[in-house]
Structure 1
Amino acid sequence: MEEMRHVDLVEGDEGRMCINTEWGAFGDDGVLDDFITSFDREIDAASINPGKQLFEKMVSGMYMGELVRLILLKMAKKGLLFCGQVSDALRTKGTFQTKHICLIEQYKGGLENTKEILEDLGLNSSEDDCIAVQHVCTIVSFRSANLVAAALAAILTRIRENKKLKTLRTTVGVDGTVYRTHPQYVSSLSEKCKTHGDLV
C-alpha cells in the first residue's frame, strides 16, 4: 500500500493505493544488463516472450532448473564434469527441473540425491562431479534469493522513508514452489533482506 501523494502516475494525493509492482518485468529496459549472464540470455531467447519478464527469468522456480541445466551442459562440454560426457537428456530443454535443485540442496541425502538425478539423466558421475553440481545449484538458488531480497528491500526501504519512519514493521506474504519446498531458500532470503535493507 502506497500513499497517493507518492504515486506520480495517478492524480490526487489523498488516501492510499495498492501497488502491483509487476517486478517480474524489472530489467526489461536494460537496467539489469550488467547482471544478466549468457545463460540468462539463452533462457530468454528460448522463451515464449524474449526480452520480457527478465527479472522473473533470473529468480523464479520456472527457470532455475533450466538455468542449472545450461550451466552443467557447458561445463560437461568443456570437460569440467562427467569426463566430458554429455547425455541426450542433458542436451534436452526442461529435463533438469527446479524440484531437482531442491532435492540436491537438502542437508541430509543431498549428495545421494544428486547421484541419482544425474543417473536418471544418463550421466556417470564421480563424487567430485556431484559436489560440483551441488555447488552450481547453490549458486543459482543463492543468486535468486539475493535478487529477490534486493528488490524486496528496495520496496520496504521506500515505504519506510516515505513514511519518515526509523523502523518499519510489516508483514510480507510470499508464495511459490521454491519458497515452499527449497530447503535453504527461506533462510537465505531472510538473511539477505536483513543485509540489503537492515530489515527483519
Structure 2
Amino acid sequence: MNKLKSTLGIAAIAFITLTAVSCKDNKKEHDNSDDHHSEMNADDNQSKMEHDNSDGHHDGESKEMAMSGDGNGTSQTILNDYFNLKDALVADDAEKAKGLGATIATSLGNLDVSSYTDAQKADLKDIIEDAVEHAEHISESEIDHQREHFKILSKDVTDMVAITGTENTLYQLFCPMYDGGSNWLSMSEEVRNPYYGSKMLKCGKVQKEIN
C-alpha cells in the first residue's frame, strides 16, 4: 500500500510539473516572439468576434452565454454572470469586468435559498457574503487586482454549485502558474486562462468534471 501511495504521489507531482513546464514554455515563447504574441491577440480577438456573433464556433462559450435563467434569484443566473466575467478577464477587458463584477454581486445577493435545508442555507449565506465582497472589489479594481479576487470568487462559486447543483456539465480547470495554483470554472474543456489572458491563454488543464 505504501508503495502504491508513493507511486501515486510521484505521478501527481509529475503531472503538475509537466503542466507548469508547459505553461512556462508558453510564457517563454510569448516573451521571445512578438509575432507569436500578435497571432495570439489576433486569435483572441477573432474568438471574441465569433463569440459575439454567436456563430457557434466556440460551442462551450456559446453555451455559457445561453444559460441565463429567467431573471435573478437562481444559481444558474449567477453562473451565467460568472462565465461572462471570466470571459472579460480572458479578453483582458478590465472595464467590462468592472461592470460584470457589479452584476454578479447583485445576482449573488438575490439568490433564493428558500428551498434548501437550514444547514444549506447557513452555508450558502456564508458563501454568498464572501462572494459578494470579492465581486464588489472586482467592480472597483484594475485587472491585476480583479484577477486576485476572481480566484477567491471562483472558489465561492464552486462551493455554491456543490450545494445548488448545476443544470449543465461544468469543468474545473487549473492553472499551476498563477498564485501557487488557481482554479476556475468553465462550460468548455477548452483552456482559456482568465488569470493571464493573452499572455498565457492556453496555460492550464482540466482538473475535473462537475455534473
TM-score of the pair, normalised by structure 2: 0.30
TM-score of the pair, normalised by structure 1: 0.31
- Relative contact order, CA 8 A, sep 6+: which one is greater? 2
The structure carrying a bigger strand percent of its residues is 2
